A and B are shown apart, each in its own frame.
Chain A
Amino acid sequence: MKYLSGWILLWLALPVQAALEYDLQAEQVARNTWFVEGKTEDFSQENGGNIVNTAFIVTAEGVIVLDTGVSKRYGEALRQLIESTTDQPMRLIINTHQHPDHFLGNQAFADVPIAALEQTREQIRRNGDAFAENMYRLVGDWMRGTDVVVPSQTLTPGIIDIGGHRLEWLALSGHSGADLVLFDHTTGVLFPFDMVFYQRALTTPHTPGLMQWHQELEQLRAIPFTLMLPGHGPRVEDGRALDQMQAYLEWLDRVLTDAAEQGLSMTETMALPIPATFDSIALRRAEFERTVFHLYPDYEQAVFEP
C-alpha cells in the first residue's frame, strides 16, 4: 500500500506531456502552389525540427509534394494538410537532397512514388540512418517511429509536363553535393530548395566548395522567375535572396582564406566579426562556427603548401 501510494504520487507529479503537434500551415503563393514555411531556427526539442520549408503543387494529375520534412510525424501532418487542401490524389513525392529535414517524413508517403536524384538516393542509402540518429538526439520524442525510407525512383533532370504544369528539374551540387532545383514554367515559381537560404544562415556540412556554390547561384539568376521559395527562410519575389547568398558565400570564402593566410587557429577564426551587412540573417554566428569546423582545415591545408 505504501509503495502503491508512492507510485501514484510520482505519477501525479509528472508534468503533463504537451501533445507534440507541428501545426503546419499551407499558404497559397501562386496558382496551384502551396508553401509550408518552417521557422528560421536551429533544430530543437521545442520546434521538433520544423525549420524547413516544404511545398506542394496541385496539378490536374495529382499532387506533387516537394520534400517531406524532418520526421514521420511531420510527414503525417503534411499529408493531412495536403488532403485538407485538395481532393487530388498524391502523384509524386520529391526529396530535394540528402539532408534529414527534407526526407525523414517519407514514411507518411510510402504508398506514393518517391523520387530523387540518383546521387541523392545513394547518399540517403549511405547516410540516412546516421542522420536519423542525429535528429533523435536533437529533437527527441518528435522523431518517434521515424525510419529512413530511401526514395524509390530516380529523377532525371530535364523538363516534364504534369497535369498542366511545365516543370524543369535542374541538378546542382553547391549545397550538399547533389541539389535539386525546380522551375515551374507555368507559374513562374522557382524552388531552389537548399541551394538558397534567406534570412537564415546557410549550412555547409557537405558543400563541395563555397565558390562552386556561388557560381551555381549565377545559373539561377538567369531563370525568369516571379517568385522564389527558398529551402529555409521566407519567400521572395526578386533577386534579394540570391544577392544575400552570394554576398555571404563570398565573404565566407574571403574570411577563411585571409584567416588561413594569417595563420589563425580555428578558435581564433571562429571569433572573427561578422559584417553588419549580415545582421538580418538568423543563426549567423552559430552557423559560421560550424562552417569553420567543416571547411577551415582545407583552407589551412592550402597555405601549408610551399
Chain B
Amino acid sequence: MNQQRWRLCASLCGAGLLALLIFPKAQAAQPPDPLNSVMWDYTRNIFIGDADYRFSQAIKVDVPAFAEDPTQVPITIDARAFQGRIQRMVVWADLNPIQHIFNYYPSAGASPKVSLRIKVQQSTAVRAAVLTHAGEWHVGYANLDAAGGGCTTPSMGNADPYWQSHLGEVKARRFATDTGEGARYKFRVIHPMDTGLVDAIPEFYLQQVHLKSPEGETVVRMELSPPVAENPVITFDLTDDRKGYSLWLRDNGGNEFEQAL
C-alpha cells in the first residue's frame, strides 16, 4: 500500500526527494513484523512507542522448541553484539495477559547476556528490544510454542507455604563465563511471583534486582514483572572478573533482600 503510493507520488512529482519529504522516514523505519504477530503493533506501541526501530538477528532470543512447563520456560537474551551501547533493554511476550517481562539496564562492567525463566499463557512471540545510547531501537525476537496456562496457574508456593518462612532467601554462585573472560553469576531467590491473575491471590512479585560491584555501584539493574517464573533463577554475565559483588532485591510489598555473592 505505502509502496504503491510512493511510486505514484514519485512519478507524479517526478522527484524522489520530494517524495521523501512528503512521506516521513518513520514509514521506512517501522518494518513489518517478521513473526506476523497480531499483537506486534499494539505491544511495540506500549514498549517503544512511536519510535523508529529495526529487527535484528544480532540480538539472540533463545527459547526452547516447546514450553514443556509453561510456568518455567527458560529464555536467554544475548545482546553482546551491542556491548557498551545499551541504554536499556525491554523484554516482553506479545500474547501474555501481562506482556512485560523485564527491563535490563547494563552499566560498564556488564556483559549484556541474561537468562531466566518465564510464565507463558499460550504460544507467543518473545521480543527483546534494545535502545542504544544513540537512541536507536533494535528488536530481537523468537517464537515460543506452548500449550499454555502458565500465567493462570497458582504458584506452587501457594499450595506450599514454604516461601512464607524463606521469602527472599538467595542461593547464588559465581562461575567462569563461556568466553573465559569476566564472570557469571547465577542466583535463585525464593519468591512466589504471583501474577494477580489467579482468583483471590494478589499480585506479589520481585520488582527490582541490582547487581552491585565491590564499590557498591550498580552494574546491572533489572525491573521484573510478574511473568518472571516463581522462585526466579537469573544468570548475569559481567566483563569484570573481580570478586566482592552483591545482590539487592525489592518486591512490590516493599520487602528488601541483600546478599553477598
Contact = CB atoms under 8 A, between A and B. Distances in A.
A270 B186 CA distance: 17
Most buried by A among B68, B178, B187: B68
Interface residues of B, number: 26
B62 A271 contact: yes
Contacts of A265: 74, 76, 115, 186, 235
A303 interface: yes
B63 to A, nearest CB: 7
Contacts of B147: 134, 137
A134 to B, nearest CB: 8
B52 interface: no
Contacts of A304: 171-173, 186-188
Contacts of B65: 286, 289
B23 interface: no
Given A137-B147, A294-B68, A263 B62 contact: no
Q: Report which residue of B65, B74, B178, B184 has the largest number of chain A beta carbons within 10 angstroms of its beta carbon.
A: B74
| Chain A interface residue number, banded | 20 to 34
A267 interface: yes
Given A293-B72, A297-B233, A263 B176 contact: yes
A267 B62 contact: yes
B222 to A, nearest CB: 15
B42 interface: no
Contacts of A266: 64, 74, 115, 117
Contacts of A137: 147
B175 interface: yes
B188 A267 contact: no
10 contacts: A265-B74, A265-B115, A265-B186, A267-B76, A267-B115, A270-B64, A271-B62, A293-B68, A293-B72, A300-B188
Chain B binding surface SS class: strand
Contacts of B197: none
Interface in A242-271: 262-268, 270-271
A305 interface: yes
The 10 closest A-B pairs by CB, nearest first: A263-B175, A265-B115, A266-B74, A304-B171, A293-B68, A267-B62, A267-B76, A265-B235, A267-B74, A290-B68
Contacts of B173: 263, 303-304
A300 B63 contact: no
Given A262-B176, A267-B75, A301 B188 contact: yes
Given A270-B64, A292-B64, 18 more contacts: A134-B147, A262-B175, A263-B175, A265-B76, A265-B186, A266-B64, A267-B63, A271-B62, A289-B66, A289-B68, A290-B66, A293-B69, A293-B72, A293-B74, A294-B68, A300-B186, A304-B186, A304-B188
